[in-house]
Homo-oligomer: A and B are copies of this chain.
């Protein structure tokens, strides 16, 4: 689900956004609204709307008499789902994937611990269902079905943590897991140890054992880090 279809300004963003996040314009570069409007064959009003959105993502800064200047990467709002998607689609996808995986390794164990305390019985049921689904699809090249349950599992954990900031990372985790399956590693069946860990996490959460849920989830995320050769020597 991208910005496309959201009108002309969405179409402009779909090409200009990736260009900027890919670093095609060095920081400080100036873009002129009029020129951009010409380039994309849209009116200035539409172009201005697009610029406003880029501005709200801290990708650019619009100043009178000077133009639309591209901000340094360090100022970008890297938590914006749109920005994340653009960068994942671009050249520094590996780098982005590493950053996000490290983020996961920090967040998910804590979220699992909180989930063990706050999860409703419905959420516990969902969790075991997801874990069992992962088991069912763990052998025989059923990666698609496996991924589906894996994503759902982590989404439920983040939701059940009761923390809105964690909950909103569900999409990010989904993106990372999907990306891993489709492009990078994961040619054959998933690691059986990982599958077992998911089942155990579901159990720990249901049992309300926060410490165990946290520790088991930490093992899962350590596995994810190792897959990307992010070591801890």
Residues of A near any B CB (own CB < 8 A): 6, 9, 45, 48-49, 52-53, 55-58, 73-74, 76-82, 99-100, 102-103, 105-107, 109-111, 114, 163-168, 210, 232
Is the CB–CB distance between A77 and B78 below 8 Å? no
A74, B171: Cα distance in complex, Å: 12
**B80 touching A9, Cβ below 8 Å:** no
- Say whether B49 contacts A79, CB under 8 Å: no
CA–CA, A82 and B57, complex, Å:
10
Complex Cα distance, B108 from A106, in Å, reads 9
For A81, the chain B residues whose CB sits under 8 A away are 58, 77
A168 adjacent to B100 (CB under 8 Å):
no
- Give A102's nearest chain B residue, CB to CB: B163
Across the interface, do A166 and B45 meet the contact criterion of CB distance under 8 Å?
no
Q: Find chain B residues with CB under 8 A from A77 CB.
A: 79-81, 168
**Separation in Å of the A57 CB from the closest CB of chain B?**
7
Given contacts A9-B52, A56-B82, 17 further A-B contacts (CB under 8 A): A6-B55, A49-B52, A52-B53, A53-B53, A58-B81, A77-B168, A78-B164, A78-B165, A79-B165, A99-B163, A99-B164, A102-B114, A102-B166, A103-B107, A106-B106, A106-B107, A106-B110
Chain B min CB distance to A185 (Å):
20
